Structure 1
Amino acid sequence: MKKISIIWFLLIITFSAHVFATESLYTIENRDKVMQDYEIHIDYPVFNSLHNMELQEKVNKKISNHLEDTMREVKRVAEESSGFPILYYGEEFVVGEDQFYSVVLTANISRGKKYNSSVTSINFENEEDGQIFTLKDIVDMNLLNQEVKKELASEPDTYYHQSFNSVREDTAFYISDEKLTLVFNKYEVAPGVYGTPEISIPLKKVKKDPPADETNVPFPQII
């Protein structure tokens, strides 16, 4: 019993340390604006402790630009239509593994009974020479599409497997427990009742190998 208690204690301490280490890199800010035609409520991270200050500025700028673009679209639609006000609720989560971090931002927009959600991610390596990476920087898109099609076909009652063509290059994603998890927009691969579906695939099955003749090409150091 004592050995089991010690193991659980160590697991809790390790998990808590990981969460603290991740959260200590950023603070959560919020924006709230209530107008007659629309409401905006957003939580988003602002990084302040990355190893590379230039990268930190780029990441924060990407987050800010994404929010501003979405807010402008909400205001534009509100000005051009009448009826129910538009509600924009933005939420976020940050995942870190082996210094590779993903900021996953979800925009939930509703108007009356119409409701939609879209997801984007900003992915980067927290190193002195760290960079921002896209999905196609990490994986072989052909292999990824093959694996995703298998996953969709394995649950035909859940996913639109027959109409699926390919994964968008800007599909949101994060990496955790040696798995690549794709986060799709609402209605993109499944009925709206499933929200923003996530599909996880072992990273080793789809990971792109850096070119053998380009040893200086930046590549994230993830397993």
Structure 2
Amino acid sequence: MDDKLNRMKQEYESIPIPEELNEMVNRTIASRRTKIKAMPWLVSAAAACILLSVGVNASPAFAKALSEVPVLGQIVKVITIREYAEENENTDVHLKTPGIAGTGNPELEQSLNTKYLEENKKLYESFKNDVAQLEKSGGGHLGLESGYEVVNDTDQLLTLSRYVVESAGSSAESRKYDTIDKVNHIVLTLPSLFSDDRYIQVISDNIKEQMRQQMKNDSSKIYWVDQPGSKTDMPKEELFRSIAKDQNFYINQDGKLVISFNEYDVAPGSMGVVEFTIPTEAIQYLLVSNEYVQ
């Protein structure tokens, strides 16, 4: 079993780097050499991050995908910078790591791409541990899939969603989002959209009302939310109370704020990942501006 896990790790971490990406790294290093000379203590860290961010699968499939990379907003590109897959009797794993290029801000790209690689590295290490524990307990089947998709792309904003599906008999899906202002070269956060923390309660109350209305209109929909005037078998501490300060979100093509919850966060697994579009009029007085949310 240890040999199998070691082999999986070696295969994942030894994916070769395409020549095209080596050239890109060299250009990046050359363009930043002056800054690095001014700060010698950054050399090792910068080099390590650059090497980490270009661990790319150089398979024919990747070469084809690279040649067909769509140009987003005519500037920003989203590519797969690492991909690993293995399937056998006990495991089924497929990891795709996205990378951002062409934003005009190399530091932003490096930060995002390093984060994406680290996310999948942690997923993979956790998966290996789960496989080892499963073997000790008598065997079974485990699956892990990660990938990404562009959920919004406008002249100003690009939203990249990274999803993870873990399976062991049943499955659970989770998602993370990054919304990038392509003009100002920044990643938006939920708090940055509002003047103060009152948005947390206002959005939470709106979501609760949407949950109740959806359940009233459709008996197949179930949310873990309190229903005034009715009893529930769920402990109160397990009912949805409030979004997190940094709750998953994105801004859709209509300029509306969308709040997202992972599978099992606020509803049974049958509901999957659930999202709520927040009416702008409900939060207008708390918005810093209408540059993003309209």
| Cα displacement (A) at 1:98 | 4.5
Measure, in 2, the Cα distance between the counterparts of 1:104 and 1:204: 26
Q: Report the CA distance between 1:20 and its aligned residue.
A: 5.0
Structure 1 segments, 4+ long, off by >4 Å, are none
**Distance in 1 (alpha carbons) for counterparts of 2:73 and 2:272:** 26
145-154 vs 20-29, which deviates more? 20-29
| CA separation of 1:81 and 1:34: change in aligned 2, threshold 3 A | same
**Equivalent residue in structure 2 for 1:91, among 147, 164, 176:** 147
Paired with 1:220 and 1:123, the residues of 2 have a C-alpha distance of 16
Q: What's 1:13 paired with?
A: none
* Correspondence for 2:188: 133
1:221 aligns with 2:278: no
Is the helix fraction higher in 1 or 2? 2
Question: 2:180 matched to which residue of 1?
Answer: 124
Partner of residue 197, structure 1: 274
- d(CA) in 2 for partners of 1:167, 1:144: 8
**Cα pair 1:38 1:74 within 8 Å, conserved:** no
Q: Which amino acid aligns with 1:172?
A: N
Q: CA deviation at 1:138?
A: 2.3
The match for 2:78 is 26
Per-residue CA deviations over 1:57-107 (Å, capped at 9, x if unaligned) read 122122222222222221222222232232111122122235222211110
User: Secondary structure in 2 aligned to 1:155?
Assistant: helix
Map 1:30-179 → 2, pairs under 5 A: 30-34=82-86, 37-82=90-135, 83-94=139-150, 95-111=152-168, 113-127=169-183, 129-139=184-194, 140-156=199-215, 157=219, 158=221, 159-162=223-226, 163-176=239-252, 177-179=254-256
- The one-letter code of the counterpart of 2:126 is E
Partner residue, 1:209: 287
**Aligned equivalents of 1:204, 1:48: Cα separation in 2:** 35
| 1:197 partner amino acid | V
Q: How many Å separate the matches in 2 of 1:149 and 1:98?
A: 33
What letter matches 2:79 in structure 1? T
Shift of 1:35: 6.6
Instruction: Provide the C-alpha distance between the structure 1 equivalents of 2:291 and 2:105, rounded to a whole number of angstroms.
Output: 16
Name the residue aligned to 1:188: 265
| Maintained 8 Å contact 1:32/1:39 | no
Is contact 1:32–1:41 with CA below 8 Å preserved after alignment?
Answer: yes
| Residues 93 and 105 in structure 1, CA contact (< 8 A), matched pair in contact too | yes
CA contact 2:103–2:185 (8 Å) conserved in 1: no
Considering Cα pairs closer than 8 Å and 6+ residues apart, tell me whether 1 or 2 has the greater RCO: 1
CA positional deviation for 1:175? 0.8
In 1, Cα distance between equivalents of 2:281 and 2:155: 15
The total of aligned residue pairs comes to: 195
The CA RMSD measured in Å over matched residues stands at: 2.6
Distance in 1 between residues matched to 2:245 and 2:125, nearest whole Å: 24
Distance (Å, rounded) in 1 between the aligned partners of 2:129 and 2:207: 35
- In structure 2, distance between residues paired with 1:220 and 1:131: 17
The one-character-per-residue Cα deviations of 1:30-52 (angstroms, maximum 9, x if unpaired) are 52232765332123421111122
Q: C-alpha separation between the residues in 2 aligned to 1:61 and 1:204?
A: 37
Q: 5+ residue gaps in structure 2?
A: 1-69, 227-238
Change (3 A) 1:203 1:40: farther
CA contact (8 A) 1:183 1:199 kept: yes
Which structure is larger by alpha-carbon Rg, 1 or 2?
A: 2
